[in-house]
Amino acid sequence: MHHLEYNATVRGTVLVSADSMVLSIEADQPRRGFDSGQYVLLGLYGSEPRSLNSLPDSRPLGTRTLIQRPYAIASHSAETSRFEFFITQVRSGELTPRLFALEPGARLHLGEEIRGSFLLNETPDGSDIIMIATGTGIAPYISFLRTHIADRPESKMVVIQGASHEEDLGYSSELRFLEKRYPNFFYVPTLTDPDEQWQGRRVRVEDLLQGELLQNEFNITPDPEWTHFFISGNPVMVRTVSGWLEAFGYSRHHPDRQGEYYIEEY
């Protein structure tokens, strides 16, 4: 089997909680660029150590097994060498415990192709954009906003982010900053298992939508002609929200068939 070389270096690891981190890497060779919302494969060999708080491998992984998984890029799409990712550790997983053991300067494999059709730039200019995420599903929206927020002053843009605990709300400081800076941007964090200090919403994102949050707080009607939706994260949440949208006449966007909602399940 062809032995793929490591071709990127870790530049930063910021642990946001025990099992989530922002990972920044630098490719040895610049890439041709990408569209915000796309993903790329990260890979490490089975011989790499696992993090201290993970479980042992459930099967032996040879030193020549390159474990690769897709990750959404959170960076501005003008970046060609430095890429940022928001990653949750699956303690029993094959790759994430190895990613969580990386330190700055460590080497890893970055896939050659940057792919994906979860793209803000396929929505019509002027349409309102609702971005719904649980967990690390927030990453593509960070790329959307870093890249496009200043280009779309006529669109209302709303991020609804669900998590269990406050520390799982990745990028919340950046999202709160954008909300202050841009009058057309709104950030709605909600927690299902918050501690007592949490002053914000305490429901699942599905329930916020069904409770007419968009209509009541932002004067946005779920109408496929005017409002496009992105849904990313937990598969159960993705399916529930998709079903809710279809009742309003929405159809799923595919690369070869235009639709008004876009999904990415992890």
Contact footprint for ligand FAD (CB under 6 A) = 39, 69-72, 85-88, 90, 93-96, 135-136, 139, 264, 266
- Give me the DSSP letters along 145-180: HHHHGGG-TTS-EEEEEEESSGGG-TTHHHHHHHHH
For residue 25, the minimal CB distance to ligand FAD (Å) is 13
How many CB atoms are closer than 10 A to CB 244?
Answer: 17
Region at 2 (left for phi over 0; alpha for psi -120 to 50; beta for the rest)? beta
The residue sitting closest to ligand FAD, measured at its beta carbon, is 93
Give the nearest distance from C-beta 119 to ligand FAD in angstroms.
13
By beta-carbon proximity to ligand FAD, the closer residue of 146 and 156 is 146
C-alpha distance from residue 45 to each of 22, 50, 81 (Å): 21, 11, 22
16 CB neighbour count, 10 Å cutoff: 17
CB of 96 to ligand FAD, least distance (A): 3
136: nearest Cα among 266, 230, 239, 23 = 266
Q: Give the nearest distance from C-beta 43 to ligand FAD in angstroms.
A: 10
* CB 38 to ligand FAD: min, Å: 9
CA angle 39, 44, 48 (to 5 degrees): 150
Nearer to ligand FAD, 174 or 184 (CB): 174
Which tokens in the block code for residue 78? 């003008």
The residue (of 69 and 156) whose beta carbon lies closer to ligand FAD is: 69
CA dihedral over 178, 183, 184, 186, signed as positive or negative = positive
Minimum CB distance to ligand FAD smaller for 21 or for 214: 21
Two structure tokens written together for 252: 């799923």
Q: 130 pairs with which residues across the strands?
A: 158, 229
Nearer to ligand FAD among residue 58 and residue 197 (C-beta): 58
Smallest gap from residue 103 Cβ to ligand FAD (A): 18
Closer residue to ligand FAD in complex, CB, 34/39: 39
